Structure 1
Amino acid sequence: MDNERPSPSTESPRLVRRKTLLRTALAAGAAVPVALIGGPALARTLSSTGAAAPLTPACDDGDDPTPEQMEGPYFKPHSPQRTDLLEPGMPGTRLTVSGYVFGGACLPVSGALLDFWQADDNGDYDNTGFRLRGHQYTDSRGAFTLTTIVPGLYPGRTRHLHVKVQAPGRPVLTTQLYFPNEPRNNTDMLFDARLLMNVRNGNGGREAAFDFVLDVPQDPGPSPTGPPPSGSAWATGTAYRAGDRVTHAGRAYVCLQAHTAQPGWEPPTAPALWRAV
């Protein structure tokens, strides 16, 4: 077993509440835009007690960084660079974890290092090789995706993934990610509900999402411009209100809810925000 022990907002009007957008998209049955999938990671399922689990920290200006947790005895440096930890014949339930890495102003951190390691389906760690170990870097949008299996259980611990996250030239965040509705969440001394992933069944396995917020100073930039003239072209940094009309790629759209436009939230890819007219 790990023999691990526990380590001893005001919302800015410049930033979009991704939580609100995600809930709107889900409630409407619409496809969630790619730019919204990772944030914030919400524990939408109930805990084993039947009460709603606390939400992981939303990425809003001034929000606290993702909580740290201790490394444990099974970390190994020099893991291979890869996003897929699956191997032929590997037992276990397929798991895809995706999300974003943000800084202190809720701006994405590109080139951030994420180093993952975990137990296999039997609850064992590979201490001689690099099975179920690997590192990767966030892309230009601050996004990452990991393909692996659901970790097994072993004495003293609930299901969890280990991860180290580091923005370029900044200190390393070491923490662990957890699964909602696990009975052992109530007895694991390390379990922290703020580190719950949003997990659902899908694509022949399970899909999870989590956003990391690092203690990285960022300049949020200037406030967005005011509402544009009706029918003007969609543009990033613009504050749109419900009912505003824009054009994009030769089509007209109406805004469904107020937000500030960001790259990746173009009308065709954001059905929670825009409807073609």
Structure 2
Amino acid sequence: MENKPTKQWTRRKFLWVALAAPLPLALAQPGPTLPATPACGDEDDEPTPPQTEGPYYKPRSPERKSLLEGGLSGTKLLIQGYVLSTGCKPVARALLDFWQCDAQGQYDNQGFRLRGHQFSDASGRFVLETIVPGLYPGRTRHIHVKVQAPNRPVLTTQLYFPDEPSNASDRIFDRRLTMAVQKSNNLWQARFDFVLRV
């Protein structure tokens, strides 16, 4: 009997594995042998879904790739990924503006702790150093983000963590926004690729 790739190996999942060279091999999911170049135009080319901004967004965050700073407690989190078009092309110089609560579930509304923006590189890649957010009352664990290709509309959305008990009770949780996460005692590593309609 012929072994066919399972349906879960869509174009985006293959791209995730193909572009994950800078990530530890443990993050690459096992699967069938796939062609060297992913085909575009499949059912998985849908743009990243939008979500509510929430009440704690602040404009003019500092430009930085690390939100870590002195006195900040919590497990370190490294998020990596790409900003891509629905045609599978990298989006260079895309703005990514992140904000989140601290390990105790509190947002900094006075300053810019755990807030910052950056731009994707020429290959569409971004890297963010932060901490694992705590649980904000009534919500599951999440990170807010705005993503904008140059001179295009802003996508406002949220990123989620897999296997969180509160995912099931969060009224706006969307599994399509769940990051791939590898956990260790001192560092969680996560992967998410944003797909923009450009």
Normalised by the size of structure 1, how large is the TM-score? Answer: 0.59
Q: Which amino acid aligns with 2:41?
A: D
CA deviation after TM superposition for structure 1 residue 138, in Å: 0.2
Unaligned runs of 5+ in 2: 1-9, 30-37
1:145–1:66 CA distance, 2 compared to 1 (3 A): same
CA deviation after TM superposition for structure 1 residue 17, in Å: 3.9
Question: Which of 41, 50, 59 pairs up with 1:61?
Answer: 41
Q: Which amino acid aligns with 2:116?
A: G
Question: Which of 103, 125, 129 pairs up with 1:147?
Answer: 129
1:119–1:21 CA distance, 2 compared to 1 (3 A): closer
Distance 1:153 1:60 in 2: 37
Distance 1:59 1:136 in 2: 29
Q: Return the structure number with greater relative CO, CA threshold 8 A, min gap 6.
A: 2
Unaligned runs of 5+ in 1: 1-15, 26-31, 45-57, 217-277
2:7 aligned residue: none
RMSD: 2.4
- Residue identity (%): 60
Q: Map of 1:155-174 to 2, 5 A cutoff?
A: 155-174=137-156
Distance 2:63 2:15 in 1: 33
Query: Is the 1:59–1:213 Cα contact (8 Å) retained in structure 2?
Result: no
Q: Which has the larger radius of gyration?
A: 1
Work out whether 1:204 is the aligned partner of 2:186: yes
Distance 1:81 1:178 in 2: 23
1:72 aligned residue: 54
Distance 2:115 2:39 in 1: 27
Instruction: Provide the secondary structure at the position in 1 that maps to 2:151.
Output: coil
Query: Is the 2:94–2:150 Cα contact (8 Å) retained in structure 1?
Result: yes
CA deviation after TM superposition for structure 1 residue 155, in Å: 1.4
Distance 1:204 1:140 in 2: 31
Normalised by the size of structure 2, how large is the TM-score? Answer: 0.81
